[in-house]
Structure 1
Amino acid sequence: MSVTLLVPTLDEEKALPALIASLGALDPAPLEILLVDGGSNDATIAIAEAAGWRVLSAPRGRAKQINHGVEQAQGEFVCILHADTIPPADMIAVIENTLSDPSIALASFTPVIAGPQGVRWGTTIHNWAKTWYAPLITRPHLFLRGVRLLFGDHAMFFRRQQFLAVGGCTPGDAVMEEADLCVKLAALGRVKMVRRRVRTSDRRIAAWGPLKANWIYFKVGMLWAFGLRGRMARHYPDVR
């Protein structure tokens, strides 16, 4: 298989066991699972190593971790998978089938936000809708050229060589690292969200409440849109 699953982490010991079990059931299996850690102070690295994953370290920051991981990846295709996102068993086949179309430069799964209380349908629908409305509002000229904004909990995937050719993620971005990548890769081909679901933890919604969480998602997106990158991270605190 030609797919690297790249998992950027920071203190994810609580989320990793479920992800490890899920990835162990993938059929077919990926070429490799590559965890890129940003300086965890818990058992994240030990858990990943015990699972047989390849582990690298990088400066803290998802953009920097993703860039380093893609540079070191062995697969032709790379999928960025967050530690709290559970993919379907046929994930690898979906990635390979989608990227067999040379017109597609970047794709993702469709996220469903859920937790012990069930599916958070309001946020799930908002996540789906902002793929379209965010670029339409903030970059209408690019929207007309086919730009769509995918986000981390979408489990984005792409060709390694094309990622490197466009310069990868913007290194200084602590959040919204996916947005610039969507714009860059849209210059090379289509951006597509496939109709195959991944399940992402609702831990932020559980911590903040649905209204606050969706307001934060919207606010951070607007800060990115108006070039106020230095303010994004302070409005998007870590939740583990």
Structure 2
Amino acid sequence: MKKFFGYILTPIHYLYFGLILVVFHPIQWLSLKWGGYTSHKRSVDILNLFLTSSCYILGNTVKFINNQHLPANRSIIFIANHQSMYDIPPLIYFLRKYHAKFISKIELASGIPSISFNLKHGGAANIDRKDPKQSVAEILKLANNMKEKTWSTIIFPEGTRSKTGIMKPFAVGGIATILKKVPDALIVPIVINNSWKMVQYGFFPLHTFSPMSWEVLTPIEPEGLTAEEVVKLAEEAIKAGIKQ
């Protein structure tokens, strides 16, 4: 039955989702040109609120749980499992006060209305996976901004999305590079549940009537720990929070 409703509701969802991207592209451009970073960021926050709301067209729900008292004046490395592209808008919107930037594939920085513009001009690290030197330089640029501007970052250490909700092993590389530059950054795990179901059948039809959740877990102080130990602790905490 959920798949049946998916055939009906998915075209409406994509029409709404695409319209949001097209409308906010010039809004972002104008915001950046006239108001600089602050105005542009505000437009991106609102963009992602609308993108998050697109899930409700399919009868899916978004629940973001944050019972942690996170510092606003300290850089944070948010570490999350990755289940679908629908992981991202709620993270941007609900973590907006922390100026969290993504490490993204360079291919996404061109050709996609709104999304590519934000990746180019919003402070993300756009890495070419075929060029390790360029990738490290981009991550270091992000790390410097975190250090100088108290920005944060959101990292998916699995590298690629899990199509079944079963978490893949975490890689340490990008997190280790940032911690070298920003050793006092707070590590905050986030567990994402059920967003993989949105694309359980592929991109058409999308899944319907599923409860999805994002939960901020207990922060990890990196002092006295290696990058490997930090990532291992985050991985274990997130794995324990995944609902099968």
TM-score (norm 1): 0.31
Q: Which has the higher strand share?
A: 1
Greater percentage in helix = 2
Q: Which gives a bigger RCO, structure 1 or 2 (Cα 8 Å, sep 6+)?
A: 2
**Larger gyration radius, structure 1 or structure 2:** 2
